[in-house]
Amino acid sequence: MTHRDWLATLPADRQADLARRSDHPALARLGAHLGLVLGCGALIAAGVPGWPLLLPVQGVSLVFLFALEHEATHQTPFASTWLNEAAGRFCGLVLVLPFLWFRYFHLAHHRWTNIPGRDPELAESKPETPGGWLRHVSGLPYWLSALALMARLVAGRADDAFLPSGARRRVVIEARVMALVYAAAALTLLWSPLLFWVWLLPVLLGQPVLRLYLLAEHGDCPFVADMFRNTRTTFTNRAVRFLAWNMPFHVEHHVAPTVPFHRLPDLHGLMRDRLAVTAEGYAAFTRDYLARRLRPSE
């Protein structure tokens, strides 16, 4: 049974219930997530004893705002459209990932998940050697790609195949506004290093954790159209599910992307027996991923 076959067996009223959006769960989750970021940032700024140890914690908290930006592309975390748009743009600003551009990139990824030549996520291949894996998880390729994307969009070259022609001007405008914000932020560094310690350095330190997390979503999955096979659900603890806005339930999200984050555990309960590709945690996935690349070729 493919994911489409399974979804067709789910009664329409059950699907509608699962897809019902609400502002309250997302506001509570966002408040807790931003509370962690602001609280940790305040301790760093105050220079409390041992504050350097908080830098990676701050970094992981910041980079996992990606999960909210990702879901906001689907307009699902909040019932209010403006909240989804505001949250997506804020997260994109923090992560140097323009929200409008990413929306079209990500929707193309959903439409053509793991199909070579169509899924834009496959434009950059997954690491196939231990050295390639180290470079990938360092976050360096991400930052180089992000800066190159910003430079291209600011220059007016919004020519990606997945961008509708009617959206390209708005994508360029958003990138240019972001660039102005970054320029203003850079000016503050002339009289205060605060943003360096609470934002810039932490996101550099946190990015490897996000790279490891994201690699598990589709890494080593077959290049087929069935979401039960081309996507992985990773079983993990509550802390990771909290930071990742329940997106470790990734097969569930791909099968029914209209289901908001707070209902993904319910959807998981319905389809758990159908999952074909899973991992018992991110450490287990990483160990298996590397073992296959360290194995001598036959």
pLDDT at 85 over 80: yes
Write down the pLDDT at residue 252: 97
Write down the pLDDT at residue 231: 97
The stretch 231-258 carries a mean pLDDT of: 97
284 occurs within a structural domain = yes
| Alpha-carbon dihedral sign for residues 248, 149, 82, 13 | negative
The 10s digit of each residue's pLDDT in 1-59 is 799 999 999 999 999 999 999 999 999 999 999 999 999 999 999 999 999 999 999 99
14 occurs within a structural domain = no
Q: Residue 218 corresponds to which amino acid?
A: H
Residue-range definition of the domain harbouring residue 51: 3-9+22-294
121 occurs within a structural domain = yes
Write down the pLDDT at residue 295: 65
Quote the CA–CA distance of 97 and 74 in Å, as a whole number. Answer: 16
Write down the pLDDT at residue 296: 53
Write down the pLDDT at residue 112: 96
- pLDDT tier for residue 298 given thresholds of 50, 70 and 90: very low
17 occurs within a structural domain = no
CB-based burial of residue 280 (10 Å sphere; 0-12 exposed, 13-18 middle, 19+ buried)? exposed
Run of H or E including 279: strand 278-279
- As for how many domains the chain has, the answer is 1
The 10s digit of each residue's pLDDT in 191-238 is 999 999 999 999 999 999 999 999 999 999 999 999 999 999 999 999
16 occurs within a structural domain = no
Quote the CA–CA distance of 66 and 77 in Å, as a whole number. Answer: 13
Instruction: Write down the mean pLDDT value for the chain.
Output: 95
The 10s digit of each residue's pLDDT in 123-177 is 988 899 989 999 999 999 999 999 999 999 999 999 999 999 999 999 999 999 9
User: Cβ distance 211 to 136 under 8 Å?
Assistant: yes
The 10s digit of each residue's pLDDT in 88-112 is 999 999 999 999 999 999 999 999 9
177 occurs within a structural domain = yes
The 10s digit of each residue's pLDDT in 114-126 is 999 999 999 988 8
